[in-house]
Amino acid sequence: MCGLLGFLTSDAATEDVVARVYHALHCVRHRGPDERGTWHDEHMIFGFNRLSIIDIEHSHQPLRWGPPENRERYALTFNGEIYNYLELRAELAAAHGAEYPDDSLFRTEGDGEAIVAGFHYWGREVLGKLRGMFAFAIWDTETHELFLARDPFGIKPLFLATGQGGTAFGSEKKSLLELLPALGRTDELDPRALEHYTVLQYVPEPETLHRAIRRLESGSCAVVKPGAAPEISRYFRPRFAARAFAPGTVDARIREITAALEDSVAKHMRADVTVGAFLSGGIDSTATAALAIRHNPKLITFTSAFERAGYSEADVAAETAAAIGAEHIVKIVSPTEFAQSIPEIVWYLDDPVADPALVPLYFVAKEARKHVKVVLSGEGADELFGGYTIYREPLSLKPFEYLPGGLRKLVGRLSERIPDGTRGKSLLHRGSLSLEQRYYGNARNFNDAQLRSVLREFRPEWTHQDVTAPIYAESRGWDPTARMQHLDLFTWLRGDILVKADKVTMANSLELRVPFLDAEVLKVAEQLPVDQKLTRDTTKYALRRALEPIIPAHVLHRPKLGFPVPLRHWLRGSELYDWAQQQIAESQTDHLLHKAAVKTMLDEHRAGRADHSRRLWTLLVFMIWHGIFVEDRIKPDIKEPTYPVSL
């Protein structure tokens, strides 16, 4: 787990560009405080900050490797972990070890060499063999080609910027902002990305709020040559189009889920440092912790909570930790801590993410880093196994599918005449729409009328379908729930869930691992028919059955809560109302937002006339982001990371 940065120049690398890259590397120091490495040749410049997890004494980066005829042919920078690296090293050694007279196919004990050696012998097919989370860059000094790749789910980030000066890439956008002048690019904002953020509460891939910087999408790779634009292709295409289980096979298929999870957690526990686990009151984090303690009997689990009633699962998490035999640590977050931390957290985020749950996650990560260097967490289970209640919606809207198209449109027009808040209005409205029109993920913050009231440059042609249409096109013919899962995999999961997980843990130099997001776990999840995901009474039906022998009974059928935040109450009271007023007043976003409308929303919310909490939070987070990255008005106190190399 580390922070990488690179620059492929169009011409020969100058001393000025080399110096710029090495200076920009400082922006990602929190991702790898243990050691820094740099390397360059006439075209390629690499910088690397390392968080040492595996093969601590060796596996330094940038890493050089090559075949017998040129042992320094490739240079690698790699952020992440390859959990099956031992198996891959053994496979490579069995096939090619004899080619090395001195028996030195590998010169380290780490996972980086498995990537670069696999790339040499298997080409891009190596990507299908890697079980893990990764963003890496391989420079071939003979062909002068750069190969970039990102893991299938998008657990690890990789940003790209291309201009006349070359191509820059890195783990964090803020480091590329420093390199834009060397590329001949400016830091102009992207208004379409802003509109997408306002609706979705995150900036969808491949966009960022800066027009010149994009992301290499999850499950994609790129080839770049000096002076040329990246040639990007997708190598990962999941398929949730499953059929009903054959009679008499259900129990065996459930056991396959259990076995896949046990194997994934076992491999995710591979580390030369201490591994802990995040633990809420739900089944996903409980499963990872219960399986992890089999490999580390001294497992420490961590949770965060608020003092307000109904916004804490600390008691349930503590009960769970006791049941599995883990030591448990709780971090209570106060409203004052919450507000004071926002500028610092937004700086780490690079682009705004308006998910308030990232704040308690930030604090529990800070607490965990005092005790461990790696944590397991339960992200991804909902998307793979059908964990969101909204996935039941196609069942409730099934009758509308039998209506002729004209009649469905009439139902939609009638719903518009029903007063807001009237029972049944939402059902009629959503029933009149196709799946592609109505579903664009878990966050639906603003409708068009609300957008028009707050955005100065509102463009109705910029819709969520800009983002979702290409994804839906890949799932034609699947059942509606499978299509929703597929959409969330490429929007909500990688845009919100995994961004906040990566950013706030790495802000604290803590590696987060997600065993549910594993290639072998995906294989069994893809095979589940809809009746094994959802019933009238529960979500994640097959997963819950698979976890019956693993997790305590008091957790197995609890509803999902996660790390809830009392945002609605705080924005109405003394905890955050004055703070929000100050952010609106001081923000220099008048050219982008109708600030008077935002202030009206805040007052309506305080008076209880409407619940604008999520919409307000989306705009407030953007204002803070703008104050940091555009106005240079807000200057978060980013301290130098100081941690021991191992724990």
pLDDT of residue 554: 85
pLDDT of residue 588: 98
Task: Kindly give, in sequence order, each residue whose CB lies less than 8 Å from that of residue 384, ignoring residues fewer than 6 positions away.
Answer: 485, 516, 517, 521, 522, 525
Query: Which pLDDT band, with edges at 50, 70 and 90, does 409 fall under?
Result: confident
Ligand-binding site membership of 55 (annotated): no
pLDDT above 70 (res 395): yes
In order of start, what are the domains of the chain with their CATH numbers?
A: 2-234 (3.60.20.10), 250-387+490-556 (3.40.50.620), 391-480 (no CATH), 567-629 (no CATH)
Cite the beta strand spans of 319-439 per DSSP E.
327-332, 374-376
Q: What is the DSSP letter of 203?
A: P
- Token digits of residue 609: 């006339």
Average pLDDT over residues 181-188: 96
- Token digits of residue 396: 């409730």
Average pLDDT over residues 198-217: 97
- Look up tokens 């790749």; give the residue: 149
Average pLDDT over residues 105-130: 97
Ligand-binding site membership of 264 (annotated): no
pLDDT above 90 (res 629): yes
Task: Kindly give, in sequence order, each residue whose CB lies less than 8 Å from that of residue 261, ignoring residues fewer than 6 positions away.
Answer: 287, 291, 515, 516, 521, 546, 547, 550
Average pLDDT over residues 514-542: 95
CA nearest 512: which of 204, 108, 24, 157?
157
The C-alpha atoms of residue 46 and residue 69 are separated, in whole angstroms, by 23
* 264-301 tens-digit pLDDT: 999 999 999 999 999 988 899 999 999 999 999 999 99
Give, in degrees to the nearest 5, the angle at Cα 167 between 161 and 170.
60
Ligand-binding site membership of 637 (annotated): no
Average pLDDT over residues 206-212: 98
Q: What's the chain's average pLDDT?
A: 93
Helix (H) or strand (E) holding 214: strand 213-215
- Token digits of residue 615: 């919409």
Query: Which pLDDT band, with edges at 50, 70 and 90, does 561 fall under?
Result: low
* 415-454 tens-digit pLDDT: 888 887 788 888 888 989 999 999 998 777 888 889 999 9
The DSSP bridge partners found for residue 75 are 64, 139
CA nearest 212: which of 234, 183, 245?
183
The C-alpha atoms of residue 426 and residue 430 are separated, in whole angstroms, by 6
pLDDT of residue 647: 64
The C-alpha atoms of residue 279 and residue 293 are separated, in whole angstroms, by 12
Give, in degrees to the nearest 5, the angle at Cα 257 between 254 and 260.
150
- Look up tokens 């529960």; give the residue: 538
pLDDT above 60 (res 308): yes
CB 365 within 8 A of CB 373: no
> What 3-state class would DSSP assign to 516?
coil
- Look up tokens 């053994």; give the residue: 90
> What 3-state class would DSSP assign to 165?
coil
* 32-55 tens-digit pLDDT: 999 999 999 999 999 999 999 998
Query: Which pLDDT band, with edges at 50, 70 and 90, does 309 fall under?
Result: low
Where would I find the H helices in 74-220? 85-96, 112-122, 173-177, 180-183, 191-200
Catalytic machinery residues: 2
The C-alpha atoms of residue 134 and residue 136 are separated, in whole angstroms, by 6
The C-alpha atoms of residue 202 and residue 503 are separated, in whole angstroms, by 13
Residue with more model confidence, 404 or 22: 22
CB 76 within 8 A of CB 65: yes
The C-alpha atoms of residue 617 and residue 363 are separated, in whole angstroms, by 19
pLDDT of residue 401: 84
Whether omega for the bond prior to residue 152 falls within 30 degrees of 0, making it cis, is no
Query: Which pLDDT band, with edges at 50, 70 and 90, does 642 fall under?
Result: confident
* 463-517 tens-digit pLDDT: 888 999 999 999 999 999 999 999 999 999 999 999 999 999 999 999 999 999 9
- Token digits of residue 576: 């955050």
pLDDT above 90 (res 608): yes
